[in-house]
Amino acid sequence: MQQIWQNFLKIIKEEVGSQVVETWFKAVSVENWDEEKKTISLNVPNQFVKNWIKEHYIILITKHLKKLLSINRINIDFISTNTEKNIVKNIIPASIIYPEKSKTSEKNELIENKSNLPAQRTIPNKFNYVNPSYKFDSFVVGPNNSLAHAASYAVCQNLGRVYNPLFIYGGTGLGKTHLLHSIGNEVKNKNSSKKILYQTTDRFTNEFIHAIRLDKVMLFRQKYQKVDLLLLDDIQFLSNKEQTQEMFFHIFNLLYEQKKQIVLSSDTFPKEIKGLQARLKSRLEWGLVVDIQMPDLETKIAILEKKAELNSINLTNDVANFIASKVTSNIRELEGALIRVGAFSTLTNKPISLELAKKVLLHLNDNNKKEGIMLEKILKTIARHYSISINELKSKKRHKNIAIVRQVAFFLMKKLTFCSLQTIGEFVGKRDHSTVLHAITKVEKILEKDRDFAKKINNIEQKILMS
């Protein structure tokens, strides 16, 4: 059974990624296997882990263990031999724990950014996760964001005294994260002794879960309670996470009482965040709530010009105008479009012209259909290049040679289209988004080290773009 469990871990690592396995399954062991009753007893470190696994992974466990044991029914029992650990202890000496660097979520951020801009390659963890490349001076102010910008700037001049908390909300890709980091950088610049912490709510949650698992909740709390400025991004992800909300509530109160500045972002207005405790919602509105909207055409053009300048891309007025008028969704996509045009110009050695931009951004006219065609094209080109059939790429085969080609396909699909991880996974044999993410991370890692491989990928990319 121990062997079976090890095999199971390998399989789910493929399926859900190593981070999940590290976080949730590392501390779980097989206590007993009752052949007759077909019952496996899993030893878990505490109640929290047990609940989490039950809620999120029980189907996976059942499915794979049945397969591995060749049986059609299995019962799963959770036990905890370590009774002491069932109680979360809060008595730990004071020293700070830092979150384990969560590669996936950082990569995720980068992938979501849709950008290969060199300036944003730096992963924001230099000083407390504030990304030094997001500053006020690279933030273009327009009617859509002027209030959010002004409030953010005001907060820096008068930390904890004017708008506390400052709550910035708006759709995805409209500049919330950029503003949060800008505040962090500005405050750091003004007074380097201030303790600043930028954190995504996802990481906050993961870190909290880790702390519970390792019985380090007190340390977790201390870390957040001693900051002068807390920047917590995408707070809507606290939704339905009762225990994390509880913890955040306490941290919020303590910081607030000490007049420490809190800045939060979310995709909606506080009241509209679903699955959030009412008392927390009301606190989020105690300070100032500001929104960011989609920019108008002029602001979009100004943003494009700024980004082009930052990345030494030669952009003429007509091309900027064209891109700005085509992209209507958000600024991240606006930036993505600029990058694609820039990359295409570099790859084909042609200057950026309206004609070139039109060719590259063809899909923006008729999104879904064109993206579908692009996915087909990528798969076809790759299959041909590696002499593998498309069916094989879409199949469940895990042979090493096929798997790596499939991973390359995922990588290029993410790079060359605006499709979500989910869409890409669906397209290549109904795989889920975490498999796609895992594959992309893997390819990125190889690319960093292996120049020949990078050249090959570049080659394929060129073929796709030219076909």
What are the residues binding Mg ion (CB under 5 A)? 176-177
| Closest residue to ligand ADP, based on beta-carbon distance | 175
Which amino acid is residue 307, in one-letter code? K
287 touching ligand ADP, by CB under 6 A: no
Given 18, 172, 222, 277, the residue binding ligand ADP (CB under 6 A): 172
Query: Is residue 175 close enough to count as binding ligand ADP by CB under 6 A?
Result: yes
Please report, to the nearest 10 degrees, the dihedral formed by the alpha carbons of residues 188, 267, 207, 90 taken in order. 90
Helix boundaries (H) for 125-241: 146-157, 176-190, 201-213, 217-225
- Choosing from 174, 262, 294, 364, the residue that interacts with ligand ADP (CB under 6 A) is 174
* Structure-block tokens of residue 85: 């650990």
Residues in the chain: 467
Rounded Cα distance between 422 and 4, Å, is: 30
145 binds ligand ADP (CB under 6 A): yes
Residue 80 partner contact from Mg ion, ligand ADP, none using kind-dependent CB cut-offs of 5 to 8 Å: none
Q: DSSP secondary-structure letter at 141?
A: P
Q: How far is the CB of 341 from ligand ADP (least distance, A)?
A: 16
Of 29 and 116, nearer to ligand ADP (C-beta) is 116
Q: Which two tokens stand for residue 446?
A: 């190889």
Stretch that binds ligand ADP, among 66-74, 169-177, 425-433, 439-447 (CB under 6 A): 169-177
DSSP state of 216: -
Min separation Cβ 212 and ligand ADP, Å:
28
> Which entry of ligand ADP, Mg ion, none binds 78, CB below 5 to 8 A by partner kind?
none
Residue 246 Cβ, how far from ligand ADP at the closest point, in Å? 26
Question: Within 13 Å, how many C-alpha atoms sit on residue 250's CB side?
Answer: 14
Smaller CB separation from Mg ion, 144 or 407: 144
Determine the Cα–Cα distance for residues 109 and 263; give it in Å rounded to an integer.
Answer: 19
Buried/exposed 260-275: b ≥16 CB within 10 Å, e otherwise: bbbbbbbbeebeebee
Least distance to Mg ion, CB of residue 234, Å: 6
DSSP per residue, 282-326: HHHTSSEEEEE----HHHHHHHHHHHHHHTT----HHHHHHHHHH
- Minimal distance, residue 435 CB to ligand ADP, in Å: 24
Q: Binding partner of residue 45 among Mg ion, ligand ADP, none, CB under 5 to 8 Å per kind?
A: none
Per rule CB under 6 A, is residue 204 in the interface with ligand ADP? Answer: no
Alpha-carbon separation of residue 297 from 174, 184, 203, 316, 375 (angstroms): 14, 29, 35, 16, 30
Which option in Mg ion, ligand ADP, none does residue 332 bind, with CB closer than 5 to 8 A by kind?
ligand ADP
Contacting range for ligand ADP; rule: CB under 6 A; set: 135-143, 214-222, 378-386, 441-449: 135-143
Contact partner, 303, from Mg ion, ligand ADP, none, Cβ < 5-8 Å per class: ligand ADP
Nearer to ligand ADP, 254 or 288 (CB): 288
Distance CA 311, CA 333 (A): 16
Phi, psi of 4 (to 5 degrees): -60, -45
Please give the torsion angle defined by the CA atoms of residues 183, 298, 332 and 312, in that order, rounded to the nearest 10 degrees.
-90
Collapsed DSSP state (helix, strand, coil) of residue 32: strand
Is residue 113 a contact residue for ligand ADP (CB under 6 A)? yes
- Closer of 18 and 133 to Mg ion (Cβ): 133
Tokens for 382, please give them. 């790759």
User: Which of ligand ADP, Mg ion, none interacts with 311 (beta carbon under 5 to 8 A by kind)?
Assistant: none
**Interface residues with ligand ADP (CB under 6 A)?**
113, 115, 138-140, 145, 170, 172-178, 303, 306, 331-332, 335
